[in-house]
Amino acid sequence: CSHSSIKHRHSSMLVLSSSLAAVKVSPLIEKVSDHKDFKKLLRTRTNVLVLYTKTATSGDSYLKLLSDVAQTVKGQGTIAWVNCGDSEGRKLCKKVKVDPSSRREGAELLHYKDGTFHTQYNRPATFKSMVAFLKDPSGPPLWEENPEAKDVVHVETEKDFRKLLKKEERPVLIMFYAPWCGVCKRMQPVFQQAATETKGKYVLAGMNVHPAEFDALKQEYNVKGYPTFCYFEKGKFMHHYENYGATPKDIADWLKNPQPPQPKTPEVPWSETDSPVFHLTDESFDSFLEEHPAALVMFYAPWCGHCKKMKPEYDEAAEVLNKSPGVLAAVDATVHKAAGDRFKISGFPTVKYFEKGEEKYTLPHLRSKDKIIEFMHNPQAPPPPEQSWEDRPSSVSHLGSEDFREALKKKKHALVMFYAPWCPHCKNAVPHFTTAAELFKEDRKVNCLGLFPNLPNSVTHQLSLPHTHTHTHAEETKGTCLAILFATIYHLKLRGMDEKKESNVFWL
């Protein structure tokens, strides 16, 4: 063999070796080159992130990262790789009109949702961002991805948190938050602006402590709601930042002279305000109804958000009506419990119409000033209540606490939806779930589609269902944003709930 031939052969071996090294990626990353296989992948998977590369090696940095991501999102998302540099891959890339060679790194990431193209992945190429994206492709970016939050120190682990407190000489104000919390989202721009304005003198940090792994940390610093702000000097906890305002200037001014939380100004009871509504007590209730033959009574709780929203509407309606053709009254059912118990008040607000001292109608649809005035001028029975899901004919089996476990023991496969009748997301899911039950009615592989509205604590604990609050009562704590998470659907692959190791849980 000539020297040039040996050189050429050696060169070819290097290319081949390099190519083989490039494709040694996690088995969880699906290598696709055929167009039919690609279409099948999109048809059978609902959440797919595809890496298109110019050559076998141009995506190496991505593939190493995506291998770790694929392991974490296993069962929730799929990662695929198309090498547009080989002959088959080139045809596929041409058909889907993707050209990674036009990209600076020779690689492009595209996301497909429910079988069709969804979006180009243009968030940071980091493990945390990619995992967050695949777990919620339509969700908001992480806080640290916002360029305007560059002056906020983003803390990921408890170890990082302890390290920050130990090493940082400057005072530290940390915001403990949850990603879903609306108040936190509104505070983030304020906090990051304060971080920029106080940069160099103070450290403003943010930490998502919603995951259960941070429960001990939350207990340590009395984090009862989100966001909670904790102030430290030389690693020592000093104060909570609370009730001192919610602007960047408020935070900056407080940092110059940190003080313990300011007591919250107590809310003036509705009955003590200049309200045109008659406020009743247990003692005055019956005599008031005797004196007023047409009365609308609102049973409320001071902490109830829906009640707070309705109060101004109710006040305005009372002012317009001015006792004619009837009067508007209210009862704080948390104080005057006898009245609430007597009329079986289980949720707030509850509005009832009384005629000549007798209860005539319960009116859940009356919430606005105009509707209240319209009703009082022409009192009519409310529309009939919506038929409950259990009472509607369908192929869905409805389970209760008494037969939940026994029913599952008899079924090899069961798709169970845990719901609350008042929950809007559940109501939206009902027709789709019912249609699915019809489709699987004759399918022996899916023997049971069961639903269960009121779970005992033992079941919620065993299935690790998220804690929920009912619509009738929710403890209001400082800066708390309560997430109501219902319409949780589980696939229970088991003959009995006790065989926990055989159960697969899917969040849909």
The full 3-state SS of 191-253, as one line of letters, equals HHHHHHHCECCEEEEEEECCCHHHHHHHHHCCCCCCCEEEEEECCEEEEEECCCCCCHHHHHH
Catalytic residue chosen out of the listed positions 84, 93, 181, 448: 181
Largest CA distance in the chain: 117
Distance CA 121, CA 202 (A): 35
Number of CB atoms found within 10 A of residue 36's CB: 9
Distance CA 213, CA 75 (A): 22
Active site residue 304: yes
Question: Is the separation of the CB atoms in 29 and 67 below 8 Å?
Answer: yes
Distance CA 208, CA 39 (A): 38
Active site residue 307: yes
Distance CA 230, CA 204 (A): 10
SS3 assignment, position 441: coil
Distance CA 109, CA 120 (A): 6
Number of CB atoms found within 10 A of residue 370's CB: 11
Catalytic residue chosen out of the listed positions 184, 230, 426, 448: 184
Strand 236-241 to strand 228-233: parallel, antiparallel, or no bridges (unpaired)?
antiparallel
Question: Is the separation of the CB atoms in 296 and 328 below 8 Å?
Answer: yes
Catalytic residue chosen out of the listed positions 84, 93, 230, 304: 304
Catalytic residue chosen out of the listed positions 84, 93, 307, 448: 307
Question: Is the separation of the CB atoms in 72 and 42 below 8 Å?
Answer: no
Active site residue 181: yes
Distance CA 178, CA 227 (A): 7
Written as one string, the DSSP assignment of 305-369 is HHHHHHHHHHHHHHHHHTTSS-EEEEEETTT-HHHHHHTT--SSSEEEEEETTEEEEE-TT--SH
Residues with a known catalytic role: 181, 184, 304, 307
